[in-house]
Structure formats: structure tokens, C-alpha cells
Structure 1
């Protein structure tokens, strides 16, 4: 264990498989850091990897695959890591990542092979235990209800267990900490929680006790959440993006300085665009949280007391996080084959768009006829509008989308000329269509593709076999569940409207305009739940914001996008933020949703565009 006299400097290199490949190499070469972490996984990628792995196993057993299939982990990870290896060695920088997905051992082997090919001496370990398919199957068959975290209904009502493919649970950072204690230079994990690499690195560096140092662990959990999405905390997806146009082509990656007390300072890679400010850090804090308690397998963090302080350019201190015992359960995601889905797009132009959309929908439904009984989802949506006196034809054109899902592949697996089939049902109405309707010249979206259903529930940590694998030492180390856990946290967290709200008339004259003129925010998804948080820049704006944004007000602002489900609310005064959780808002979540906003990321910007009465004195300060 290194000296704990100073903070550990941890760089965030990836927020997903789509992130920039330069990250690990540039951070290792150019930055003064102790550890590089990265998150390559999501509910989408884990679902696809897990399902494909089970399919590959079946094909191998049936003799339909003649060779071992390609590993089901991030295919670009080695391109990211390989250039960094000499710098990791020369500068003694550790790496802890979750890029292993569903084939962690195989990826760890590839890392070892690349290290050997470069003639380096770096020790690689990997984390085992997140794959729990047979555990879930056994417990379900023995009567375990496995209540959905989204809907509150038991697993038996899901309707997809017949097609159950895989289950992966979320592990904490204790295994990563142990691997580093054992001398690993690079730790490869699968489905550890997004913040787990930061927790593990901090726990190792500072020598924290998982049973007693709860505030410290909770601070590192929040820090891990802040840097897990790489450039998001440095100005990516930021409400104040307009002032960051300079160097927006290359927003930097974050660096966190985690102190021995669990507090941290967020800064970033030098010489890059973006910024680290209370606004950007608050935005990332609000991303994909569920309520005032943020759960991890190592600890639970209470978010309500967080305070952020701008120490200087690109330096924000985060304090006030309090730790509670970890839950005795961990989140687990179940994947099942859902069927096949397809979509067809008409482009409609000009006047009378609602009537034109109705005309089109009635014609397509007539063509579908009795086959509608075989469609598990049929959705028509008109997206966009034609402005008055449009400046060109493109802005006067909107998208009408027809979306279907079915288990009968033949209904959507047809070419343009095949009869019957989804494409034909839509295509054959073209010469009977409304005026101003046309078709795109690429019909590939109307061909069926597989989709998967995803179900999120809880699994007792005692059922998880969390292990550290050390191939170079020829040993395996078990990571037991800590003694200091809470048996059960309630599914529904504390939710409340403002206590003693301000008299809105006290803020003076107002102008009606978009909420986003003075309010920033961020939104995201957790399976089918959507979250959205809003923040403001000044204390008097905070009193106004918390008084305006009640549960009823947000419900009204949603208008036609309101699904009528439960909305929960809480406040974080230290960052002048109010947060909402919209239960089961996203139609089953990314892997099977019929929504345009598959990840809930656009919910915030929709609500920021809604009109409210804004005090004029706030507007005089300038818009976000």
C-alpha cells in the first residue's frame, strides 16, 4: 500500500464503448496520475453480450460453431490500452476497468499477451463472480419473487422467463482493492458497478476498512460516479455548452484527487476544451441517480448533504457525503429474448400534419388487418412540426415513424417486395397517401432485428461468489460480504415536495419563457426509470427553483409525454438542485423501448424548453 499522506489521483478514461480511443495512452503519457479507471459497460452492452454468449454456448454444444467465437467484451479496448503500456510501467500507473463484460478472463489473457509482446513486466488480475444466470434460475425455481425495481411487480409477471438468457449482477470495488493490494498493475473486471474502480483504487491507496470507514467509502463512491462518464463532468452534455464552443472538438478527460477523508477535487486533463465547474460537476452528480441514497455493494452514500466549491479554474471540491451501510443485496439484470422489431419512416411536409398522420395511420392499420394480433407493439408517432412561413423545405418536413415488435420473425423479416410483411404494409399505401408524404431511400430499418427484454431486480450479496483471480500468482481470493450491511432498504426512497416554499410573488415581475434560460440540468435512465435533475447558479434562484418545481408542476410540464406513473422528488441544497425520478417512464428501457429517447438523456432538455414565469432579475444576470 502506498503512502496515504496525499490524495490519490485517478483519471477517468471511458464512459462507454463509444468513447475516444486516445484516452488511456494520452492520460498515461501526459498526466501526473496514480490510477486510470474506465467504464465500458451499460445495460445495453451487458444485455447483448450476455445473450450472445449463451447463444454461442448453445451453438458450440450443437456443433454449429467450428471454432471459439470472438470474446464478448469491448472490441476496441486493446487498441486503447496497448499504446499506454510503456507509460504505465515507467510511471507506475495502475489501471482498473470494467471492460471485460461477459468474457473477463479472455480479455485479461489478451492484456497479458500484449504486455509480453511488448517485453514489459506488468501483473494482470481479473474479477470473477458477476455472471449469476444459474443462481437466479435456481432461486426463481425455488420460489424467490425477484420484485422489479422499476414496476414493483414480481418476476413471474414479467412474461419472458421462457426466453431467459442471462443474468449479471453488480459487484463493488473491494475485489479491485484486493487485486491492487496483491500487486496487480492492471485489473480487468466485468460487471462491477460504474463507480467500483474508483472505490477500489481509493480503498487500496488509503487503506480504508470496508466495515468502519463508511464516510470515506461513500465519498469515493460519489467521486466514482462523477468521473465514470469521462467527459460528461468536463462539459460534455452540459446545459451551458454555448460558452464552451472554443476547443469543443476535444473536451478533456477528468482527473479526481481523492483525499484520505473521502472528499475529492475534480479537475481535468490539461490543454483540452470544456471546463470543470460547479455546474458541470452538479450536472454529472444528477445523472442517472435514483433518490437521496446512492447504493453500492461496498457502501450507501447519502447525497442530500453534498457541497461543491469552486477552488479555481477547472477545480471543484466535493465534500459533505455521508456513508451508510451497504445494502445486503446488489442489483442484478436479467436478459430475455424479446422477439423482432422494425420501423418504417414516412416524411410528411407542410400544413395539416396531424390530419396527414391520421390518414397514414388508418391506411397502414387497414393493410395490417388481422395480423395486428401477432404484434406485441404497434406504435405510430409524428415527430416535429412545420414552423409558420418555413424558411426552407427541410424544416417544414417531419418524421412519421411506425414501430412494431413481434415474436413472429416472418412478419418483419421480409424484403420490400415480399407479401405479407411489415415493409409491404407500409409501402403499398404510398400511392394512396396524403399530400406531402414521401419515403426515405433506405428501407433497411424495416427489416426485422432481434431485441431483448431487460429486467432489473435485487440479489442477496450472500449469493454472489465475488473473487479475485491472480493468474500470475496461481491463486484465487474470495471477497466475502462485509458484516456491516443493512438487511433491506425500501424500494421507494424518501420523496417530498418543498418544505416552506417561497411566495413566488416575492421574486418580483416575471417574463414567461423557457425554464432553461436560467436552469441547467441532466437526465438519464436506469432500465425503464428516467431521472432528471435541475440546478441553478445563485442562492435566490435556488429558493425560486425549489418552490416552482413541485411534483405536480413537473407532471404538468410533461404534458403529452406524461406516462401517468409515479414521480418522486428530493432536494440537494449544497448544489442548489432538485431531482425527480420518473418511474417506468421509458417503455421497458433501452433494449426494447419504442421511444425515440432510448436512454432518457433528452428528457431534461425537453423540460428545459417548457415555459414558466421567470423573475426578471434572474434574466438580467444572463442566460445559461
Structure 2
């Protein structure tokens, strides 16, 4: 049987219908079969994958430099190896950032696979994101500006500038976040598989849509829409039921082994988020809102190619199952700088966990902390730690029904520049092994008390006009040694726009809270959903009124609009600080905006994660649990909203 020309679909259909872009990964751990699923379970035009996070970029860099890592993510290669025949058969193009520190190496390996199978697929890779050589001599050139340097309200966490101020902090990786320009050029040159290093998470989706419609690089509204489409599907199954605050109202067996999201991007940049019907997971207005609110910087979302202005965002379920439209995004020229993630060897970390059970837990942990601090002072090292924290995790259940319910733990977290300091702390575990509170026990043999090297994060900005980027097209070859490459330099965006001061405000025209009637103490999560995440040292949290849960108010109900009036009036900056309780510190800074089209209040809390990523002492160093913690805080909630939610859920269950 004669196969049709594999380019027919692209020449006849490109730009005439919405482009269908499926995502197969949001982190290095996503198995390769997710790429294959997106290819085999239905029709798509592109498959994109985000395999890189700050942590694994840094880990890869050290291992790659030592010859102990290929410089690319194995799961990305697994996906391509499983999917490559389907790519040729179904004429699907791939754009993935699994190249990490060695996109050339992965591209050459893929080219060898393609050539060995005799497939008509063109492979390319992006270069220019790796600035390790430029950053090695920062002591003579100076440290690039911090990511939050333009925000005068922000106080940097302790040790943020250690990279410059202290000796022996060698840089191990420095990667800028590239946009979509190199991807677009590669697609224009006929590439079918493009391997990138550190591009922004949404850049592969922007590049796919940009190429499909032949947009210009000043079609800012369209590019901004594609940016948010990419943001919605970039995180594995986060838009199809994973990490979803409303999961408690769903069958738990529908919330794992799910397939990932797909964005149907239209010519004007608006999108419909969906998934393949096969396999589990779901797309609702609420899963889309949750993911929209994830890791935002406020009402402006930045990318190297465009700024997305989010104030007027709208979300609405479409006809058919698992189809939700998002629109209302406006665009503007990008900033003159892009994000630069610098990681450096910062010193040594230790972590000790001990348990206490039941009676007198507070006093038990008081005793243990006093004893260790006494020992550290006697050794003369108490004040030589960069970080030394005694974190109390959990509260024993009153009248406990089991010992586990009565147990909580003390987490002792230490960082220093000298492993001998950490070893001094570890030595006290033996010295005071038989001097402890009643019922003392531990979950391990304290192996983590032994100091281990750690890498810390410095988020910076870097001028886009100084970058030297290119797309590299490989010529077919069965041998890496015989592979020839065509290098095509790319240029920065034609226009930049300086960043204005970020918007921050409490609601306009607040409704007096007494107008909502009687209240009673309840968890705020009983009436709102939330999603939180990290941006380096900062956390973001978005709260919104759900619309698609079994207990949600129908849009025709007066409670639907009233609940938004209550949320925006109630959840002020001052109220968030109050809800954070003992976790609030006056060194933090809060910004607040609203998205009335999706009934959401959004906060950024600067500094709450310390230095962020692997340098953070926080148990939840990526702020993934912050939204669920705050949903559990008890506040005064109007009775009409609580009763309304219960009534709706009961009626829908009856139906």
C-alpha cells in the first residue's frame, strides 16, 4: 500500500482549523508512555513536553560535567523511542525541552534512531540557553540583577547573595529561559522533532501555534493566548484532574493513571482545553481555573516573546465532554530581559527527624531543642550555621484512637558552608542518645543527619539582546560521527517594553460583610477552591469560587454572584496575613489582584520560601501545599453559602 505524502496534512490543513497540541510531560519523572498515549489515542498535530525544573537542571549539570549523566532526560528519550514510528505514520511533530544541558547529544541520538529506521523525519535542536561560561567570572563582571530587583518592597532572604559575597560558591549551571523564536524557525525549516534545552515551559506550545498560523512576532494578543494555552497544559495531568483542590467530590479511582491535557488553539489565540476520551481524567471549568492560577506572577504573565495580560480572563464549558474554552487574554511586547536560573554549590545540609507521642508533646520538643542548642554552644558552633531551624510538624489527636494518631515530629534542618559544623550537630545525637524526653523515638537511624552537599538557587534576569541563540538542523545519518548540522542563528524580538510596577490592590467597592447575613466558623475551603505554587523564593496562591463541582452553585442561582462578592470583599491582604498565622513574617511582602471573569482572588507572597528550590529550609519548599493549608483555616463564613453548597450536593447525588 502506498503511503500518502506525509506533508499533505501540513500543506492542506495548516492554518485552516484549530491546531491541536498535546502535552506529554511536566517534569522529568513522567514516563515515556505518556508521549505515546498522546500520539496513539487520537489525532493531534503537535506533542510538546516539559521535562525540566530548576532542581533537575542543576543536578544534571554537575553529573554531566563529571561524565556521569548524558545531559538529557532519559524519560524524554524513552518517549521518543516509543513514539517515533507513530510520528512518521500520523505526521505529528514533537517539541520537547528534554535536552537539558545537552540538546545536541539527544538530537544526535534521535537522528540515529530515525535514520536506522529509515523514517522521513527531520531532527533539530535549539542552542543558546546555557550561559555557564559567561557566568563563571561573575566576580570580575558582577552578579546579574536579581529577578525581584525591580520591586522595592521585596526583602531578600538571608544568604541570597552568598554567591557574590562569599568564597567557595562555584556556579554549576546558568540557563536562560528562551522563548519560541528558535522553535518557529526550526519548524519553518521542516523540522519534525525539535529538542530544546531550557526554554520557558509554555514556549513549545507558543512555537507550535505561531508556526501553524504564520503569526508575526508582533501579533501580541495571539501570542499571549498561546502562552496561556501552553501554561494550561504544561504540567502533566494538572489540568486533567491531578493536583486538583476539588478532588474530594470525585471518585478517587478517576484521579490516577490519567491522560494529560490537549490545547486546541484557534487563530485568534483563544483555546479549548481537552483530552483524549480514552483512559481516565477529566477537564472541567474548575480544573482549568486551578491550573490557570498555578505559579502566576500576578496579573501579567511573562515570556521572552510576549507579555500576557490576564485581568479579563474568562472560562466556560463547551458542548461535549472534557472541553473548556479560555479567552480574554491580551498581549503586549515582551520585557527586554529574560529569566536566568543560576545554581551554585552553597554548602552542606542536614536533616534530623524525631518523634514524640501524646502527653506533653510541646514540652518534649522544648526540652530536645534546648538540649541540642546547649550542646552546640558547648562545641562553639551554635552561631556558625547559615540556617538552623527546629520545625514542629503536626499536632497529636486529642483522645487518640491509635499511637500513630498521637504522634507528631520535630524536624531539625541545618545548612552551613563547612561540613564539620553539620557533623557537630550530628555528634550530639550520640552524646545525648540516652538523655531524652519520655517516649522518645525516631523513624530512622538519622542517616540524613550526615551532611550532604547541596545546590542553591539565584534567580536573575539577563538582557535578551545579549543572547546568541540558534536552531540547528541535522542531516540524516546512521552514525553520530557522520552527522552534519546546519546552524541558523536567530534574532531577539523586534520590540521590548519595560516592566511597569506590578498591580496590587484590595477589591474596589467592597460589600459590607454583614450584608451576607449570619455566619458561622467554617473552613474557607468549604466554599472556595485554591491552587498554589512557587516562583523561586516566592509563593503564589489563587482562591476561586468553583463552578463545576457537584456542590457548586448553578450560574442561575443568586448565590453564584453573591459568593464572589463575599470572597473579593472578605479576602483582603490583611485577611491573608491573618490566615497565615504563625507562618506570617513581616519580612514578607504580599501583592493581590483579582480575576473577576473566573471569580478568583490571587496573591503572591514574596520571600516565604526563603531562597527557594533546593536552598529552601521549608518542608513544602515549592508551596504545593500552601493553598490546601489555607483552605483548612477556619473563618467566619456566611451560612447561606454553606447551606447552599450542601443542598446542591445532596440534590445532585439524588439525581
Q: Deviations over 1:368-391 (max 9, x none)?
A: 221223322111111111111001
> How many angstroms does 1:140 deviate by?
6.5
Equivalence for 2:32: 21
| 1:302 aligns to 2:309 (yes or no) | yes
> How many angstroms does 1:448 deviate by?
1.7
| 1:554 aligns to 2:553 (yes or no) | no
List structure 1 segments (4+ residues) > 6 angstroms apart after TM superposition: 152-157
Equivalence for 2:4: none
Equivalence for 1:193: 200
Equivalence for 1:44: 55
| 1:507 aligns to 2:516 (yes or no) | yes
Matched-pair contact (CA < 8 Å) for 2:63–2:69: no
Equivalence for 1:121: 120
Q: Deviations over 1:236-258 (max 9, x none)?
A: 11111023324223222111100
Q: How far, CA to CA, are the matches of 1:431 and 1:41 in structure 2?
A: 46
> How many angstroms does 1:590 deviate by?
1.5
> How many angstroms does 1:455 deviate by?
0.8
Equivalence for 1:218: 224
| 1:375 aligns to 2:382 (yes or no) | no
| 1:237 aligns to 2:204 (yes or no) | no
Matched-pair contact (CA < 8 Å) for 1:195–1:222: yes
Q: How far, CA to CA, are the matches of 2:96 and 2:294 in structure 1?
A: 20
Q: How far, CA to CA, are the matches of 2:383 and 2:636 in structure 1?
A: 47
Question: CA RMSD of the aligned region, Å?
Answer: 2.0
Equivalence for 2:102: 103
Taking structure 2 as the reference length, what is the TM-score of the superposition? 0.89
Q: How far, CA to CA, are the matches of 1:140 and 1:470 in structure 2?
A: 36
> How many angstroms does 1:562 deviate by?
0.9
Equivalence for 1:6: 17
Q: How far, CA to CA, are the matches of 1:139 and 1:605 in structure 2?
A: 40
> How many angstroms does 1:272 deviate by?
2.6
Distance 1:156 1:478, change over 3 A: farther
Gaps spanning 5+ residues in structure 2: where?
1-9, 476-483, 547-559, 650-655
Q: How far, CA to CA, are the matches of 2:62 and 2:575 in structure 1?
A: 41
> How many angstroms does 1:122 deviate by?
1.4
Match of 1:112, SS state, is helix
Q: How far, CA to CA, are the matches of 1:522 and 1:118 in structure 2?
A: 44
Matched-pair contact (CA < 8 Å) for 1:374–1:408: no
Equivalence for 2:410: 400
Equivalence for 1:204: 211
Q: Deviations over 1:506-556 (max 9, x none)?
A: 112222100000100100001111100011033221111111110000001
> How many angstroms does 1:606 deviate by?
0.7
> How many angstroms does 1:76 deviate by?
2.2
Match of 2:86, SS state, is helix
| 1:582 aligns to 2:605 (yes or no) | yes
Matched-pair contact (CA < 8 Å) for 2:544–2:601: yes
Match of 1:438, SS state, is coil
| 1:597 aligns to 2:620 (yes or no) | yes
Structure 1 range deviating more: 104-113 or 330-339: 104-113
> How many angstroms does 1:47 deviate by?
2.1
**Which residue of the other structure, out of 160, 163, 166, is the alignment partner of 1:160?**
163
Q: How far, CA to CA, are the matches of 2:175 and 2:158 in structure 1?
A: 16
Equivalence for 2:540: 531
Distance 1:155 1:110, change over 3 A: farther
Matched-pair contact (CA < 8 Å) for 1:252–1:270: no
> How many angstroms does 1:591 deviate by?
1.0
Q: Deviations over 1:562-581 (max 9, x none)?
A: 13211000001111111000
**Which residue of the other structure, out of 431, 436, 440, is the alignment partner of 2:439?**
436
Gaps spanning 5+ residues in structure 1: where?
57-67, 414-420
Q: How far, CA to CA, are the matches of 1:207 and 1:77 in structure 2?
A: 28
Matched-pair contact (CA < 8 Å) for 1:135–1:463: no
Q: How far, CA to CA, are the matches of 1:475 and 1:153 in structure 2?
A: 44
**Counterpart mapping for 1:114-513 below 5 A:** 114-137=113-136, 141-143=140-142, 146-149=145-148, 151=154, 158-161=161-164, 162=167, 163-165=169-171, 166-211=173-218, 213-244=219-250, 245-312=252-319, 313-369=321-377, 370-412=380-422, 421-472=424-475, 474-486=485-497, 488-490=498-500, 492-513=501-522
| 1:606 aligns to 2:648 (yes or no) | no
> How many angstroms does 1:145 deviate by?
5.4
Matched-pair contact (CA < 8 Å) for 2:144–2:462: no
Q: Deviations over 1:69-107 (max 9, x none)?
A: 431221222222211111110000000011111111111
Match of 1:76, SS state, is helix
> How many angstroms does 1:271 deviate by?
2.5
